[in-house]
Structure 1
Amino acid sequence: MRFLLTDEQREFARTLDGMLAASGTATVVRAWAAGDTAPGRALWSRLAATGVFALAVPERHGGVGPLPVELAVAFTELGRHAVPGPLVETVAAAAFLDRLDDEAAAAAWLPAIATGDSAVSFALLSPGAPYALDAATADGVFAVDGGTVRLAGSTGAVQPSSDPARRLARPLGGTVLAQGPAVTAAARHATHVARLATAAQSLGVGRTLLAHTVAYVRQRTQFGVAIGSFQAVKHRLADTLIALEFAEPLVRSAALALAADDPSADREIAAAKVAAGEAAYGAALTALHLHGALGYTDELDLSLWIRKARPLRDAWGTPAVCRGRVLAGLAPARARTRTAPPATTSGNTHP
C-alpha cells in the first residue's frame, strides 16, 4: 500500500495552502462566528473553483470523484487554515446523495455542491445529538433520523459552542425524501466520509497549533534565554509532534481503504479519527500551556484553532465511539485466528 502522495496531490495541497494563506482566514472565521457569512461564502466559492467539493461528487453529476485520498489532502489544508462552514457536512451530504439511489435528489443537489453554489448541512439526529452544523445558514439541511431522511424546512435558534464558528441549530419540519434500508446504508457511507474528512481537518488544525507554538517558544524569553531551550518544553513539543506524525499515516490508510471500498474501511477510518482528534486536542493543550496567559485571549488568532480542536475531536464520533468501532472491526479477525487450523511444517524446515 502506497502512503506517499503523488506529485499532483502535493501540488494540490500547495495550491490550497497558498490560496488560503492569502485569504486572511482568521478574519473570515471571526465574521462567520458573528453571523456574517458573506466572507465565508466568497471563500467557499474560491475553494469550489479549485475542485474541493467536486472531489465528493461523481462525474455523472459534474464532479470528479469520489476521491477520498484527495479529499483528505484538501481537508488537512482546510483545517490548517481553520476555514469555517459546513465543509465536512457538505461532502457527507454529497456522499449520502450519491448512495441514496434517488436520481431526482442527486440531480437537484450534487451539481450545485460541486460548483460551490450550494453549501449544505447533513446530520444524523438522535436524542443526544439534535443539532446540525450551520443549519441556519445552509442552503439545505439533510436530517437523517433512523431510517428516514428529510430536507428540513426551518431551524431553531443557534446554540452556543466552544468554537464560536461552529453554529449549531436544530433542523425542524421539512419534506421526507426517502425511508428504509437505502437511507440507513447511505447514511453509514456518509458517516465514513464525514469521519475521514474530520480526521484530516483535525490533523491540519494540530499542525498549525504546533507550528505557531514552536515559533512562539523561540521568541519568548525567560531568565535571558528562549523558553524553547528548556528540556520540559522540548519534550512537550516532541510528544505533540509524535502524535501528529503517528496520526497522518492512519488518515492516509483510511482514505485508501475507503477509496478501495475495503471492508476494513470502517475500522481504519475510526482509528484515524481517534488518532487525529486526540493529536489535535493534545496540540491545543500544548499551545495553550506554552503560550501562557496569551493562550486564553480571544484577540490572539491562535485561539481560533485552539477552540476548534475539542469540537472536532468529538464531531462525527467521540473517541469512545470510534474506539468501539475499531474493536468491533477487530473482533471478526480475532475469531478467524482462533478457528484457523494449526499450521503445518515441511520436512526440511530447520528447528
Structure 2
Amino acid sequence: MRFTLSTEQVDFAASLRTMLADAKTPDTIRAWGAGELDAGRALLGRLADAGVMGLGIAEEFGGLGAHPVDTVVAFVEIGRAGVPGPLVESAAAIPALLQALPDSSLAQKWLPGIAEGTTLASLVLSPSVPRALDGDIADVIFHVDGDALRTGDATTQVASVDAARRLFETQPSDVLTEDIGAAADSAFDHGALACAAQLHGAGQAVLDLSTEYVRNRVQFGRPIGQFQAIKHHLADAKVHLDMAAPLLHGAAVAVAADSPTASRAISAAKVACGDATYLASRKALQVHGAIGYTAEYDLSLWLTKIRALVTAWGTPTVHRARIAESLRATS
C-alpha cells in the first residue's frame, strides 16, 4: 500500500515553510543561543497561532486533536528552519504525557495554555531526557520521577554542542500525581517521533544549502555542482533521506492506529532519520569545505543542531535495543 500526504497536509507544510522562511530563523537561532530570547518567543507565538502547539492536544483541552502525521509534517518544517525552543516537549511529549494520565485535571490545567502559546513547558524524563530544555524560561517543568510526576526547578545550565540548545539541570519539587503508569512511555514515544521529524527536516535543510552552494561555487572555471563526484555526494544524501521518510510517516500512522508495534516503528524512524540526516551533514561539510565549520556561516547552525538531535530523545543505541527487544518478543 502506498502512503502519501493529503493535499491539506502538503498545503500546511508549505504555509509553515513560507512563514518560517520569512522569519529569517538563522538570526533567531543565534540570538537564542546568546540568551536574547524575544525574537524566538515571538516566533513560537506565531507557530502557536498557526496551530502547531495544539496539534497533539485534544479538542476538549483547547487543541486541534490532529492526526500524528500532521504533527510529523509540522516538525519536519520546524527542523528545516532550525527553530529553537522546547517544541518537542511542549507540542508533542507533554500533551501525550498529560492526556495519558488517569486523571484529566493536569491536562485541563496546562494544555489549553500550551495550545494557545501562552504557556511554555519543558520536561525531564530520565534516562533519555535527563535535562530540561530551556528550563529557565519554561512556565512549568514536568519532572518524571519514577512512578511520580513532579514539577521541577531549573538549576545549573549545561553546555550543548548546539549553542541554541539551552539545557538545564533540574531539582524535583512538588508531587503532581503518583502512579503515572504508561503515561511516561507515551511521552517518550511522542517526543522521539517529533525529534525524528525534526531531524529529517534538518537533513533536508543541509541538503538544500549544499545544493545552492555547489550551483554558485565556481572552481576550475565552472560550478562545482557540475562535477560528478559532487553530484554523487548529494544524491547519496537525498536517497537516504527519501528512504527514511516512509518510516517516519509509517510510525505516525502506527501511533494513530494504537498499534502494538508503534514504539518499535518510532524507534526505527528515529534511527533511520538520525542516520540519514547525519550522513547529509557529513556530505554537506565535504562539498562546502572549511567554510562549513565557521560560526558565521549558516550551515554550522544546522550541523551542530543535528549532532545534538541524533542523541536526543534516545540515542541510536537505545532505539536499536528497543527494536531488537520488540522483535524478540514477537518472534
**Bin for the TM-score computed over the shorter chain:** over 0.9
The question of whether the paired residues in 1 share the 8 Å contact of 2:224 and 2:230 is answered with yes
* 1:56 partner SS: coil
- Does residue 217 (structure 1) correspond to residue 218 (structure 2)? The answer is no
Name the aligned partner's letter for residue 58 of structure 2: P
- Does residue 45 (structure 1) correspond to residue 45 (structure 2)? The answer is yes
Aligned to 1:9: 9
Aligned to 2:187: 190
Q: How does 1:134-283 map to 2 (within 5 A)?
A: 134-152=134-152, 154-180=153-179, 183-283=180-280
* 1:173 partner SS: strand
Aligned to 1:324: 321
Q: Distance in 1 between matches of 2:130 and 2:23?
A: 33
Aligned to 1:74: 74
Aligned to 1:124: 125
Structure 2 gap segments, 5+ residues each: none
The question of whether the paired residues in 1 share the 8 Å contact of 2:33 and 2:166 is answered with yes
- Does residue 286 (structure 1) correspond to residue 283 (structure 2)? The answer is yes
The question of whether the paired residues in 2 share the 8 Å contact of 1:144 and 1:150 is answered with yes
Superposed displacement of residue 66, structure 1? 4.8
- Does residue 295 (structure 1) correspond to residue 292 (structure 2)? The answer is yes
Structure 1 runs of 4+ aligned residues shifted over 3 Å read none
Partner deviation per Cα, 1:51-97 (whole Å, 9 max, x = no partner): 11111111111111152110000000000100000000112111100
The question of whether the paired residues in 2 share the 8 Å contact of 1:89 and 1:123 is answered with no
Name the aligned partner's letter for residue 101 of structure 1: P
Name the aligned partner's letter for residue 238 of structure 1: A
Q: Distance in 2 between matches of 1:33 and 1:39?
A: 12
> Quick one: percent identity of the two aligned structures?
48
Question: What TM-score do you get using the length of structure 2 for normalisation?
Answer: 0.96
Superposed displacement of residue 2, structure 1? 4.9
Superposed displacement of residue 122, structure 1? 1.2
The question of whether the paired residues in 2 share the 8 Å contact of 1:48 and 1:54 is answered with yes
Q: Distance in 1 between matches of 2:325 and 2:96?
A: 24
Superposed displacement of residue 184, structure 1? 3.6
Q: Distance in 1 between matches of 2:309 and 2:176?
A: 29
The question of whether the paired residues in 1 share the 8 Å contact of 2:120 and 2:140 is answered with yes
* 1:170 partner SS: strand
Question: What TM-score do you get using the length of structure 1 for normalisation?
Answer: 0.91
Name which of structure 1's ranges 115-124 and 231-240 shifts more when overlaid on structure 2.
231-240
Q: Distance in 1 between matches of 2:22 and 2:168?
A: 31
Aligned to 1:33: 33
Name the count of aligned residue pairs: 330
